[in-house]
Amino acid sequence: MTCYNRRNTTLECLRCLHSQELPKGVRFDVYLVDDGCTDGTGDAVHAKYPDVHVLQGDGNLYWCGGMRMAWAEAMKGDYDYYLWLNDDTMLLRGAINTMLETAHEVREQEGRDGIIVSSCRDSESGRHTYGGMVKRNRCSRLPDQPMPPGDQMQRCDTMNGNLVLVPREVFNLLGNLSPDYTHTFGDVDYGMRARRSGVPIWVAPEHLAECEANARVRLWTVPSVPLKERWRDMCGPRGLPPRQWYVYVKRHTGAAWPFYAVKPLVRVLFPGLWNLRYG
């Protein structure tokens, strides 16, 4: 886990985690990166949950950097699984049990371990928000279509990193999240690297957590915003940093990478025309 200035949210996430009823013989340890929080998150977590391993970041790690730090520390332990958990993702009753059961089913069906993805829904509307992702069609190179869960486990191409179970066998093959990314792309890239390496990715049945969709406005796509501000927003860690986007598409789109590489540049320069063409 990694967090930044969401003390109450982080504490509620940990409460939901510690409220899980686990199968006999299953235990967990929590590794949480406090990425320079100024609201006392780390101290509050330590006071409420003294067994949580709180690691200190410098405020510039963002999601990928924080998760890499937490995972690098966790890998020193002898764990069968690693669980990615966003601090704004609230586990529903039986979530971990369902993920472990799904992992067992995948192992029996595939003959090897696979990544297990949990789906999230909005707490008020019940609308699907995060989880597995698939390609829109056979011609698509990048999976960007959300896959709502069903009543049975189902395959996907990659995933959002809100709640993901990674078996030790998969970690030993793929390693940590890529250092090429700061905030965006790290989770999706990991899933696509897994699929390319032959690792299956399965979405567990039903929604297993609640998490509201990110309400951040992508200013770099808004025609009324001045170009200078659009460019700054796109290049920021939470935008679509060109160098990181280049790495991502070069890695995953084959010979079509130049086409994908220039798409954000066209959109940031001509957002009005883009919206007319693509809506």
**Gyration radius (Cα) of the chain, Å:** 19
d(CA 261, CA 273): 18
Q: What is the pTM of this model?
A: 0.95
At residue 59, the pLDDT reads 95
Span 3-15, pLDDT tens digits:
999 999 999 999 9
Residue 268 has pLDDT above 80, yes or no: yes
SS3 149: coil
Average model confidence (pLDDT) across the chain: 95
Whole-angstrom CA distances from 153 to 118, 119, 271 are 10, 11, 39
Span 112-136, pLDDT tens digits:
999 999 999 999 999 999 999 999 9
Residue ranges and CATH numbers for the domains of the chain are 2-210 (3.90.550.60), 219-278 (no CATH)
Q: Which amino acid is at 216?
A: R
| Kind and range of the H or E run holding 64 | helix 62-74
Percentage of the chain with pLDDT > 90? Answer: 91
At residue 139, the pLDDT reads 80
d(CA 91, CA 251): 33
87 versus 273: the higher-pLDDT residue is 87
Sign, Cα dihedral of 146, 244, 214, 168: positive
At residue 269, the pLDDT reads 92
At residue 217, the pLDDT reads 82
Question: Quick one: which of 56, 68, 55, 31 has its CA closest to 182?
Answer: 68
Name the DSSP letter for residue 20. Answer: -
d(CA 84, CA 88): 12
Lowest model confidence (mean pLDDT) among 72-76, 88-92, 267-271: 267-271
Q: Which amino acid is at 207?
A: H
At residue 132, the pLDDT reads 98
Q: How confident is the model at residue 274 (pLDDT cuts 50, 70, 90)?
A: confident
Q: How confident is the model at residue 277 (pLDDT cuts 50, 70, 90)?
A: low
Q: How confident is the model at residue 43 (pLDDT cuts 50, 70, 90)?
A: very high
